[in-house]
Chains A and B, each alone.
Chain A
Amino acid sequence: GESVGLHLPTLSVQEGDNSIINCAYSNSASDYFIWYKQESGKGPQFIIDIRSNMDKRQGQRVTVLLNKTVKHLSLQIAATQPGDSAVYFCAENRGDKIIFGKGTRLHILP
Chain B
Amino acid sequence: DTAVSQTPKYLVTQMGNDKSIKCEQNLGHDTMYWYKQDSKKFLKIMFSYNNKELIINETVPNRFSPKSPDKAHLNLHINSLELGDSAVYFCASGQGRESYTFGSGTRLTVV
Contact = CB atoms under 8 A, between A and B. Distances in A.
Contacts of B102: 43-45
A94 to B, nearest CB: 9
User: What are the nearest 6 A-B pairs in CB distance?
Assistant: A43-B102, A100-B43, A46-B99, A103-B41, A44-B102, A97-B45
Interface of A: 32, 34, 38, 41-46, 49, 87, 89, 93, 95-100, 102-103, 105
Sorting the interface of chain B by its residue count into under 10, 10 to 19, 20 to 34 or 35 or more gives 20 to 34
B100 A100 contact: no
Contact of A44 (B42, B55, B56, B90): B90
Main secondary structure of the interface of A (DSSP, over half): strand
Contacts of B101: 46
A21 B35 CA distance: 23
Contacts of B97: 32, 93, 95
A93 B42 contact: no
B7 to A, nearest CB: 14
B90 A87 contact: no
Contacts of B105: 41-43
Given A41-B104, A43-B90, A87-B41, A97 B99 contact: no
Contacts of A46: 99-101
Contacts of B90: 43-44
Contacts of A44: 43, 90, 102
A99 B45 contact: yes
Contacts of B45: 97-99
Interface string B64-105: 000000000000000000000000001010100101111111
